[in-house]
Amino acid sequence: MPLTSVRVLDLTRLLPGPYCTMLLADFGAEVIKVEDPAVGDYARYFEPKVDEDSAMFHSLNRNKKSVCLDLKSAEGKDEFLRMALDADVVVESFRPGVMERLGIGYEKLKQVNPRLIYCAVTGYGQTGPYANEPGHDINYLSLAGLLHLMGERNGKPVVPAAQIADIGGGALPAAVGILLALLERKESGKGQFVDISMLDGVLSWLQTLLPGYLSGGSVPERGQQMLDGGKACYAVYETKDKRFLAVGALEAKFWKAFCHVIGRDDFIPLLEVPLHEQYRLKYEIQSIIYGKTQVEWLELFSEADACVSPVLTFDEMVQHPQVVAREMIQTLKHSSSGTVNQIGVPIKLSETPGRICTEAPKLGAHTDEWKKNKRM
């Protein structure tokens, strides 16, 4: 596997850091969760549970090991420094300065192992006036200006159900940064500090909105953009049976097909009409879509290239033929629960694919092995 020779010490908890190290572990990295012996990763205690740990914890921490160390004790710090000697990567998500106060910050670890790549995933990064401020996904979205644009035109901002900043702004850039640093180390022989800010990451996602404003355009408003439901060709419509269709007929060819299926070819020239006319158009389309059930509309659209799809529940999504074909829901053996269903590996490599090899570790499951062998 691509990362088989890479050892990662993972000090992170909850979602962003563990998602990053999950990606590394899925492709062969030896990821050792370094957990507090009393509590461990807080995500262990969420509901619902699979045996004594949460379903979310099992998903995020597959393919990893767990070693318990009290990093506030002299013994724990010494053990961690010994672990760092043979590590390639350290990932942590504490606020800036915490690792330094513990005596195991980047400068100290760099002295122990100059080849070490140290990745810190934080809300606001290591610099700037907000560096030490607390925050969660909703805060990073709000400060990035993204939350302001989410929701209906005259309503309040809508909080997304998935964590955009945590994963898209934090975990994914962290994984990319680590891989870039590993590549660079092959040339220089030296490690480096990877500074990941979830706010920075969210800002970088605003590619369809922010460049226009930065180029002298007006401030975008909620429900008035091409890709936020403002246009009739890119919106969600309710069906007769109170289900929904997602319509993404942005291009003229898709819009033409959509209008033909709903029996309104007179709408075809209206693709780019001004905003106030878009709302009238959406109203008329909604009146038409109300006339049939979701299944009836899907049958009508089945032969048309119109970018129309059903809004699925989880029950429907896990059985969808595309999800099944891509193996994005996998059933795995579990030592105490028999089997467990998990989210699959999203990155598909043709020659060295990622895979789920081992279940998430119990708290401290590999501590004795580490102490006995001083390596694993």
- Decide if 263 is inside a domain: no
The domain in which residue 70 lies consists of: 7-204+346-373
Query: CB–CB of 193/118 below 8 Å?
Result: yes
Q: Which among 26, 41, 88, 166 is annotated as catalytic?
A: 166
Decide if 166 is catalytic. yes
Q: Name the domain count of the chain.
A: 1
- Decide if 68 is inside a domain: yes
- Decide if 57 is inside a domain: yes
- Decide if 271 is inside a domain: no
Cα–Cα distance between 93 and 176 in angstroms, integer?
16
Q: Which among 367, 278, 321, 267 is positioned nearest to 35, based on CA atoms?
A: 367
What one-letter code names the amino acid at 127?
A: T
Q: What are 117-144's pLDDT values in tens digits?
A: 999 999 999 999 999 999 999 999 999 9
- Decide if 150 is inside a domain: yes
Which pair of tokens denotes residue 34? 């370094």
pLDDT score recorded for residue 337: 78
Decide if 334 is catalytic. no
* Other residues' Cβ atoms within 10 Å of the Cβ of residue 151: 17
- Decide if 339 is inside a domain: no
Q: Which among 70, 136, 148, 334 is annotated as catalytic?
A: 136
- Decide if 220 is inside a domain: no
Strand ranges, E, within 155-251: 193-197, 234-238, 244-248
Mean pLDDT split into 10-residue runs, the chain, 376 residues: 96 97 98 95 94 94 97 96 96 97 97 98 97 96 94 88 96 98 98 98 94 88 75 96 96 97 97 92 97 97 96 94 95 85 94 94 89 67
CATH number of the domain that 100 lies in?
A: 3.40.50.10540
Cα–Cα distance between 246 and 307 in angstroms, integer?
8
Q: What is the model's pTM?
A: 0.93
Map 223-284 to HEC letters: CCCCCCCCCCCEEEEECCCCCEEEEECCCHHHHHHHHHHCCCHHHHHHCCCCHHHHHHHHHH
